[in-house]
Structure 1
Amino acid sequence: MPETLVHQLKDPAARKALAEALHALFDEWALPQEDRTELLAWPGLGPEAPLPQDAGVLERAGHLLAIGRALRRAYPYQPHRRGGWVSLPEPALGGASPLQLMLAEGLKGICRVRELIESEQ
Structure 2
Amino acid sequence: MHDRTRSHGALRLTGSARERRIRRRLTRRILRALDGWGLTEDEQASVLGLPRSSRAMLGRFRQGFPLPNDTEIVERVGHLLALQKAVRLFYRNAPERASTWMTRHSIRFGTRPIDMITKRGMAALRYLRADLEPDPERRVYAASMNVFADLGLPNPELLSAKSALVHALDGVISDRGLTKAQAADICGIEPHDLSIALRGGIGNVTLDTLVKWLEALGYGVTLAVGKARPRFTPGEDEQENQQLRSI
- TM-score interval for Structure 1 and Structure 2 normalised by the shorter chain: 0.7 to 0.9
1:4 is matched with which residue? none
Equivalences for residues 74-113 of structure 1 within 5 A? 74-93=90-109, 95-113=110-128
**Cα separation, 2, equivalents of 1:92 and 1:79:** 20
Across the two proteins, how many residue pairs are aligned to each other? 112
2:76 is matched with which residue? 60
2:33 is matched with which residue? 25
Equivalences for residues 45-56 of structure 1 within 5 A? 45=58, 46-47=61-62, 48-56=64-72
SS across alignment from 1:88 = coil
Kindly, what percent of the aligned residue pairs are identical?
26
**1:14 aligned onto 2:49:** no
Cα offset for 1:23?
A: 0.8
**Cα separation, 2, equivalents of 1:22 and 1:36:** 10
Which of structures 1 and 2 has the larger relative contact order (alpha carbons within 8 angstroms, sep 6+)?
1
Higher helix share: 1
**Cα separation, 2, equivalents of 1:117 and 1:87:** 17
Which structure has the greater CA radius of gyration? 2
Report the AA paired with residue 115 of structure 1. A
Report the AA paired with residue 67 of structure 1. L
Cα offset for 1:73?
A: 1.0
In the superposition, the TM-score normalised over structure 2's length comes to 0.43
List alignment gaps of at least 5 residues for structure 2. Answer: 1-17, 139-243
CA-to-aligned-CA distance 1:41-81 (integer Å, 9 cap, x gap)? 12223221111110011010100011001111111132211
List alignment gaps of at least 5 residues for structure 1. Answer: 1-9
SS across alignment from 1:16 = helix
**Cα separation, 1, equivalents of 2:99 and 2:19:** 29
4+ long deviations beyond 4 Å: none
Report the AA paired with residue 35 of structure 2. D
SS across alignment from 2:72 = helix
